[in-house]
Amino acid sequence: GPQSAMMIFKFCVGAGWFSLPAAFRYSGVLVGVICIFVCGALTIYGMQRLIQTSWEVARRTGTDTAYFGDIGAACGKLLSEKCELIGRLIVNIILSIAAFSMAFPMMLFIADMWKQAFEEQDIVQLDIAVWILIVYVLVLPSIFIRRPDFLAWGSIIANIFEVITITAVFVNVFSTSSSWKVNNTVQWSKLPLTIGVVFFAFEIAPF
């Protein structure tokens, strides 16, 4: 239905893709393209392995599905019954760290855009670290939303803004195509940011 189509669309053209220009700014075009292919291949391989492991754990436990914590518990149980809870806990901790790390490139991208916008309008000049803190403070309350109807409205608004943004991006791309310049300069000290942004762009939920 429409919800499935929109979900697939958001997986293929998610918000993370809008931060890819920042990734190329740090890596240059050539290294950036290589990073995209390498990170994409690793993402596909990792998702396939996770799905296969999930199916196997679900088969062994007699359940319909197995989530990340269930996989950790199953791995811990291979050592001993007492390690089952420890395995689940370790996986949940790693997931928390990974989720924070994957979200940070997007927060950096948003903070950088806000910084540029406010400085261009001579409104205020703040360090990028301050803008990152502001973005996190504004986004943090969203994790406490538990009502599906609120999430549905938020998703609709996000989809509308995403369509508008995609349209604006393509209009700008085709209107400035004559002034494109290829930059292959690699900022090696900031290359990890490129890798983080690319992985975030590929991030989806396989379960």
- Asked if residues 115 and 134 have their Cβ atoms less than 8 Å apart, the reply is no
Cα–Cα nearest to 29, from 162, 202, 182, 166 = 182
CA distances to 30, 50, 110, 130, 178 from 99, in Å: 28, 16, 17, 21, 39
**Cα separation of 140 and 155, whole Å?**
17
At 180 the pLDDT is 64
Residues of the chain short of pLDDT 70, as ranges, are 1-19, 102, 105, 143, 145-152, 173, 176-183, 203-207
- Domain map of the chain by residue range? 10-175+188-202
**Cα separation of 40 and 160, whole Å?**
27
For helices 68-79 and 20-61, the axis angle rounded to 10 degrees is: 50
**Cα separation of 121 and 134, whole Å?**
18
Each residue of 89-103: pLDDT tens digit?
A: 888 888 778 777 767
Each residue of 54-102: pLDDT tens digit?
A: 888 888 777 777 777 788 888 888 788 778 888 888 888 887 787 777 6
**Cα separation of 23 and 33, whole Å?**
10
At 207 the pLDDT is 38
At 206 the pLDDT is 41
- Sequence-ordered list of residues with C-beta below 8 angstroms from that of 41, at least 6 positions apart, any chain: none
Give the pair of three-digit tokens for residue 189: 């000290």
CA distances to 30, 109, 161 from 103, in Å: 25, 10, 19
At 172 the pLDDT is 74
At 84 the pLDDT is 82
Number of alpha carbons in the 13 Å side-chain half-sphere of residue 114: 19
pTM of the shown model? 0.56
